[in-house]
Amino acid sequence: MSREKGIKEKRKKDPVILVLDITILVLFFVMLYVGQKAVFYKLFAAESGSFSQDTGMMSFELQRGDYAGLVTGKYMNEAEGLTESSGYYPLADYVEAAFWYRVYDVKGNRDKALEEKAVMEEARASMKELTVFADEVDKMVGK
């Protein structure tokens, strides 16, 4: 009879063991999640072959107003060896120079601000029909 009584009685688990069990369970799910992400990005990189951006992607970023993505795309293309200038490269140069112009102007570094202003003017001259976006950038940076 005492044996049956012992089986039916619930033994309380030590709180430390309970915390360790929960920690192991959480770590298991974290490992699954991280592993899934790693496999996804590895497959993505293998399928795409490169991370360059074409003019369609740059156009999409402009439609969304993502000027920082445009600058990033230009640098990604240059890192991949795609240095032939699309119409978006001068605009990306303009965006970057406008940002730095504003920073230097606010900080009172007049020489650096003038250098960036020259880059902006050169970029504006070569961006053709995209000057509309340069005007938007001017509004954003408070020029």
Number of alpha carbons in the 13 Å side-chain half-sphere of residue 113: 10
Please write the tens of the pLDDT for every residue from 72-127.
888 888 877 777 766 788 888 999 999 999 999 999 989 999 999 999 999 888 88
Please give the pLDDT value at position 117: 92
Residue 127 CA to residue 74 CA, distance in Å, equals 14
Please give the pLDDT value at position 5: 56
67 vs 118, residue with greater confidence:
118
Per-residue pLDDT averaged across 28-43, rounded?
86
Please give the pLDDT value at position 82: 74
Residue percentage of the chain with pLDDT more than 90: 23
Residue given tokens 């060896």 in the structure block: 81
Mean pLDDT value across the chain: 81
Provide the residue range defining the domain that includes 112. Answer: 55-141
Count of structural domains within the chain: 2
Residues 64 and 133 in one domain: yes
- The number of residues in the chain equals 143
- The radius of gyration computed from the CA coordinates of the chain, to the nearest angstrom, equals 28
Last residue of a domain, one of 33, 48, 63: 48
Residues 133 and 94 in one domain: yes
